[in-house]
Amino acid sequence: MTKQPDNVWLWADWPIPKHVRAGTSLRCTGTSLKPFNELNLGLHVGDETKNVLNNRKILSHHLKLRSEPVWLDQIHSTNIISLDVHNIDTSADGSYTTKKNNVCTIMTADCVPILFCNAAGTKIAAIHAGWKGICNGIIEKAVNLFSNPDTIYVWIGPCISSDYYEVGRDVFEQCLNHETRLRSAFIQRNEDHWHCDLVKIVKIILNKSGVGLIYECGLCTYQMDKLFYSYRREGITGRTASMIWIE
């Protein structure tokens, strides 16, 4: 179950310390025009720069953030950067921090946003997990940032559901090469195509890594077109942002 969203933000519903805040943006109440309407937060998708920057201000004001979120140049890698250091290279698909008011931020439009928090609420992380990053080990790498996997809380944000995510043999085989247990996350449609359950994949890998405190919003980006962007549905479209920070 998730908390009732407002018109800008969906708060993550998981039992972490109250001084840690987390959730994901909705596509409403921004200044971008079609096909990026309305609260597009991605500068790399073809939207007007001024609109994107204004949308980012709208979100920061809405969340009462004390510092600017660290926006990554996501490249489907396994690079997860520390926000505790200066002069960081933002070419990455995840970030982590132990300091207050550092906002770990990742953008998605079907891929899986995954947020992490230790039991004490003293270390947090956020990663962008598409099939390429998953097969290259970004989830395991994020878990290894924490000392005790069995005390990590994980929230899986909105992503495309298996009903709408069809993949070819290349993706199917690469996932199985990474972890044979991922076979149960695929339903074969014909000789060369499968429906892929990304959330199930994430949970299998987290469980194998020793993480059991997993919470998911259960929302599909493809199906819920009024709330979320979907690359599979629209092609040219915007990006929502999932964030986690320590207050």
- pLDDT tens digits, 124-149: 999 999 999 999 999 999 999 999 99
Q: Does residue 27 belong to any structural domain of this protein?
A: yes
Residue 46 lies in a domain: yes
**How many structural domains compose the chain?**
1
Which band of pLDDT confidence, cut at 50, 70 and 90, is reported for residue 4?
very low
Does the residue 166 lie in any domain? no
Strand 193-196 versus strand 166-168 pairing type: antiparallel
Residue 1: predicted pLDDT? 37
**pTM (predicted TM-score):** 0.95
Q: What is the pLDDT of residues 48-86, one digit of tens each?
A: 999 999 999 999 999 999 999 999 999 999 999 999 997
Tell me the three state secondary structure of residue 213.
strand
Please tell me the least confidently modeled range out of 28-37, 84-93, 158-167: 84-93
Residue 64: how many other CB atoms lie within 10 Å: 8
Assess if residue 149 is contained within a domain: yes
> Which range of residues forms the domain containing residue 75?
16-159+216-246
Note the pLDDT tens digit of each residue in 145-204.
999 999 999 999 999 999 999 999 999 999 999 999 999 999 999 999 999 999 999 999
Burial of 160 (0-12, 13-18, 19+ CB in 10 A): buried
- CA–CA separation, 9 and 5 (whole Å): 6
Q: Is residue 164 a part of any domain in this protein?
A: no
- Read off the tokens for 33: 């025009």
The CATH number of the domain where 109 resides is what? 3.60.140.10
